[in-house]
């Protein structure tokens, strides 16, 4: 199957980029609400509707939710791409719809999505509220879980650009986790089902992004929703959409999340999972914090008349300004930085650093500078 072509055919073209809000998705949901498939299942802290989309008649029940963190929108886009596939009338769509019943919450945290924040309007991280259930959004998610009684849960998130695949120097474009169900991180029947499915999806994705798939840390935290659902005996899979080179809008990453969803459900529907492949799962390298957005090497800096050669790095802050996400680069660290990588790297070859301030890179300073007054960088990027 040509997953690339399948993505192109089913991509939801009305949404793109990083800033995906309730206003972005309501027209799509209205389009799909043909047979009462779309419902309002509750409201956010600020009274915004939280929607569900239910499709399929199969006995295996799949529960998927996205944008639990409001600024993590890549999987929301991929989820709508997948919903398009379910509605395209193809043989594959029919196969999936007769095998599964899909219960989707495309945007659990509409307030955080509007504000482009991780937390909800009460400044609570919903992914740390699975036990206390203090927030309306957390209560809605748990109520659906209890009523729907899924056979599998898909917990859809984004991860920052700082994550790489172990120490390979490759970004973690997509990462997965079969969360632990206890402090000892043991593998029971439920967790093994999630492990086996992830290992199978990984084999498919390696054909498209070899070496760019990571495995998230599996330390147990019962306050996290994935750990809770795994503890309650439902195989749960964490998706983390990460960085693909030169793809800060995450349109390429979106494609790989779509591929992961489609291939996973095909594998499940055809009962094509190899049993007990824990070793293949553990062979997926762990995520590691090894990346910065920009790295500048072998830079000459003049400290009070003493010249040294060093390195420094800059990182984007994603700032919401007038309903648009602005990527603003700031210097974050100066030093040896051994073992770290930049998504963009530049070797200054001992050229002298200069800027409009103190002529030394300072943490939290905007990344506008030059080398030898010949090579200029604005917002971290080389000006050619």
Residue 65: Cβ-neighbour burial (10 angstroms; 0-12, 13-18, 19+): buried
Q: State pLDDT tens for residues 173-223.
A: 999 999 999 999 999 999 999 999 999 999 999 999 999 999 999 999 999
pLDDT at 267: 95
* Pair (282, 298) in one structural domain: no
**What would the mean pLDDT of 20-47 be, rounded to a whole number?**
95
Q: Above 70 in pLDDT, residue 272? A: no
Average pLDDT over residues 245-263: 98
Q: What is the CATH number of the domain that holds 283?
A: 3.40.630.10
Rounded to two decimals, the pTM is 0.97
Looking at every residue in the chain, the average pLDDT score rounds to 96
* Position 271 confidence tier, pLDDT thresholds 50, 70, 90: confident
In the DSSP assignment, the letter for residue 216 is -
| From 26-35, 130-139, 276-285, the region with the lowest mean pLDDT | 276-285
Q: What are phi and psi of 74, to 5 degrees?
A: -60, -45
| Model confidence band, residue 290 (pLDDT cutoffs 50, 70, 90) | very high
- Name the domain boundary from 264, 289, 314: 289
Cβ-based neighbour number of residue 17 at 10 Å: 15
Q: Which two tokens stand for residue 258?
A: 């779509």
Assess whether 252 and 295 both reside in one domain: no
Domain containing residue 362: CATH number: 2.30.40.10
Domain finish residue from 289, 313, 333: 289
- Let me know whether 285 and 299 are in one domain: no
Supply the pLDDT for residue 273.
Answer: 65
**Are 232 and 366 contained in the same domain?**
no
Structural domain of 305: 291-383
164 and 16 in a common domain = yes
Tens-digit pLDDT profile for residues 64-87? 999 999 999 999 999 999 999 999
pLDDT in tens, 310-334: 999 999 999 999 999 999 999 999 9
- The 8 Å CB, 24+ separation contacts for 88-94 are 88/9, 88/10, 92/1, 92/6, 92/266
Residue 363 has pLDDT above 90, yes or no: yes
170 and 307 share one domain: no
In this predicted structure, the answer to whether residue 281 has a pLDDT above a threshold of 80 is yes
Question: Of residues 275 and 223, which shows the higher confidence score?
Answer: 223
Domain identity same for 101 and 218: yes
* Res. 275: pLDDT tops 90: no
Give the domain-ending residue among 289, 324, 354.
Answer: 289
Rounded distance between C-alpha atoms, residue 220 and residue 228, angstroms? 9
The verdict on 227 and 317 lying in the same domain is no
* Higher per-residue pLDDT: 135 or 33: 135
Decide if pLDDT at 274 tops 70.
no
Q: What is the pLDDT of residue 384?
A: 80
* Matching residue, tokens 């439902």: 234
What average pLDDT score do residues 276-288 get? 89
Distance of alpha carbon 329 from alpha carbon 372, whole angstroms: 21
| Of residues 262, 240, 239, the one with CA closest to residue 92 | 262
Q: Are residues 279 and 295 in the same domain?
A: no
Task: Provide the pLDDT for residue 1.
Answer: 83
379 and 242, same structural domain?
A: no
pLDDT band at 134 (very low <50, low <70, confident <90, very high): very high
Residue 226: per-residue pLDDT: 98
Give the number of residues written for the chain: 384
Number of compact structural domains in the chain: 2
Question: Are 206 and 256 contained in the same domain?
Answer: yes
Average pLDDT over residues 303-316: 94
Range with the lowest mean pLDDT among 102-116, 189-203, 260-274?
A: 260-274
Q: What pLDDT digit, counting tens, does each position of 152-186 carry?
A: 999 999 999 999 999 999 999 999 999 999 999 99
Q: How confident is the model at residue 242 (pLDDT cuts 50, 70, 90)?
A: very high
Domain match, 99 and 24 both: yes
Judge contact between 261 and 98, C-beta under 8 A.
Answer: no
């Amino acid at each position: 199957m040509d997953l690339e072509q399948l993505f192109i055919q089913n991509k939801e073209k009305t949404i793109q980029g990083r800033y995906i809000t309730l206003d972005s998705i309501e027209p799509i949901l209205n389009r799909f609400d043909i047979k009462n498939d779309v419902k309002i299942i509750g409201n956010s802290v600020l009274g915004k509707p939280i929607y569900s989309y239910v499709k399929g008649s199969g006995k295996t029940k799949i529960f998927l939710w996205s944008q639990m963190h409001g600024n993590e929108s890549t999987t929301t886009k991929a989820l709508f791409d997948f919903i398009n596939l379910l509605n395209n009338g193809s043989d594959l769509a029919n196969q999936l719809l007769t095998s599964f019943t899909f219960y989707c919450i495309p945007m659990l945290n509409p307030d955080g999505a509007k504000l482009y924040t991780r937390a909800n309007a009460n400044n609570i991280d919903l992914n740390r509220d699975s036990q206390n259930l203090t927030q309306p959004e957390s209560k809605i998610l748990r109520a659906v879980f209890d009523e729907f009684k899924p056979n599998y849960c898909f917990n859809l998130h984004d991860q920052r650009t700082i994550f790489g695949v172990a120490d390979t120097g490759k970004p973690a474009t997509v990462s997965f986790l079969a969360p632990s169900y206890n402090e000892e991180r043991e593998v029971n029947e439920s967790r093994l089902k999630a492990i086996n499915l992830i290992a199978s999806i990984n084999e498919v994705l390696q054909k498209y992004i070899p070496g760019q798939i990571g495995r998230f840390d599996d330390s147990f935290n019962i306050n996290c929703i994935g750990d809770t659902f795994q503890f309650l005996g439902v195989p749960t899979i964490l998706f983390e959409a990460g960085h693909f080179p030169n793809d800060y809008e995450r349109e390429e990453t979106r494609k790989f999340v779509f591929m992961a969803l489609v291939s996973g459900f095909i594998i499940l529907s055809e009962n094509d999972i190899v049993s007990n492949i824990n070793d293949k799962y553990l062979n997926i390298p762990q995520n590691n914090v090894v990346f910065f957005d920009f790295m500048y090497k072998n830079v000459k800096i003049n400290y009070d008349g003493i010249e040294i050669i060093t390195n420094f790095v800059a990182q984007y802050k994603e700032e919401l300004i007038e309903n648009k996400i602005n990527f603003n680069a700031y210097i974050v660290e100066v030093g040896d930085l051994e073992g770290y990588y930049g998504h963009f790297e530049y070797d200054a070859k001992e050229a002298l650093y200069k800027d409009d301030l103190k002529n030394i890179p300072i943490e939290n300073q905007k990344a506008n500078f030059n080398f030898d007054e010949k090579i200029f960088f604005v917002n971290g990027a080389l000006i050619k």
